[in-house]
């Protein structure tokens, strides 16, 4: 089986690239606001390990509704909440998860990603990244809010984002600047969360290999 680079290694490289292109005052602002967001501990209210995952129904890139209940009939689910196609760290994670999809499937697990961006934006990402799994649009962050994942981007950062061409309102179709925290869940067939990664720092993501470890444990439990 071909090897793939660790996601963290790709993130480290991206951090270096971003640092090299940003003015010092922008780097300081980003770090300051990241620390302020983390201090609020909003993620402490998110759906976590052992919780029952709230059901949802969202459109895929073709406009067809996809529900959690419908997905779990087929097996466990790796569920990724990401900020949008405009986020370079989300793109790294989505591609890394896509590379592991076949390995997830060996344990009967599916992969689904959710973002607040408009369906046409999700469709463009799925095509450009050759994604082989469902990408759902949670316009208005209704599902992300149910999972306790949402926050509003600090006003001081909005102009910075726009200066780098990151048009969040244009991607999401509203002016709220509301985003989900990056989050990855592994949900078993009964809807119970068996792994949860929720991180207010968008530069931090879980390794897909960790999800394989949990899936292997679930498989062993099923064999008892």
pLDDT for 219 equals 85
Sign of CA dihedral 160, 165, 168, 170: positive
Q: Return the CATH superfamily for domain 7-222.
A: Glutaredoxin (3.40.30.10)
- 88/67 Cα distance (integer angstroms): 27
The proportion of the chain whose per-residue pLDDT surpasses 90, expressed as a percent, equals 92
221 — phi, psi (to 5°)?
-65, -40
CA distances from 173 to 83, 165, 167, 169 (A): 14, 16, 10, 6
28-53 per-position pLDDT tens digit: 999 999 999 999 999 999 999 999 99
Question: Domains of the chain: which residue ranges?
Answer: 7-222
pTM of the model: 0.94
Q: Which residues, including other chains, have CB under 8 Å from residue 206's CB and lie 6 or more apart?
A: 7, 184, 197
The proportion of the chain whose per-residue pLDDT surpasses 70, expressed as a percent, equals 97
């Amino acid at each position: 089986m071909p090897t793939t680079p660790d996601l963290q290694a790709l993130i480290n490289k991206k951090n270096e690239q971003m640092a090299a292109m940003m003015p010092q005052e922008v780097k300081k602002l980003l770090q300051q606001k990241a620390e302020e967001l983390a201090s609020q501990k909003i993620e402490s209210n998110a759906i976590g390990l052992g919780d029952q995952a709230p059901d949802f129904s969202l459109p895929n890139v073709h406009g067809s509704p996809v529900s959690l209940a419908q997905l779990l009939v087929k097996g466990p689910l790796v569920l990724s909440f990401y900020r949008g196609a405009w986020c370079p760290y989300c793109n790294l994670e989505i591609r890394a998860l896509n590379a592991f999809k076949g390995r997830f499937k060996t344990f009967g697990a599916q992969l689904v990603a959710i973002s607040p961006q408009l369906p046409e934006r999700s469709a463009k990402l799925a095509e450009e990244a050759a994604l082989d799994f469902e990408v759902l649009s949670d316009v208005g962050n209704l599902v992300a809010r149910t999972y306790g994942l949402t926050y509003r981007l600090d006003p001081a950062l909005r102009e910075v984002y726009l200066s780098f061409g990151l048009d969040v309102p244009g991607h999401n179709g509203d002016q709220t600047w509301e985003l989900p925290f990056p989050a990855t869940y592994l949900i078993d067939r009964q809807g119970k969360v068996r792994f949860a990664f929720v991180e207010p720092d968008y530069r931090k993501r879980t390794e897909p290999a960790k999800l394989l470890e949990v899936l292997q444990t679930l498989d062993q439990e099923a064999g008892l």
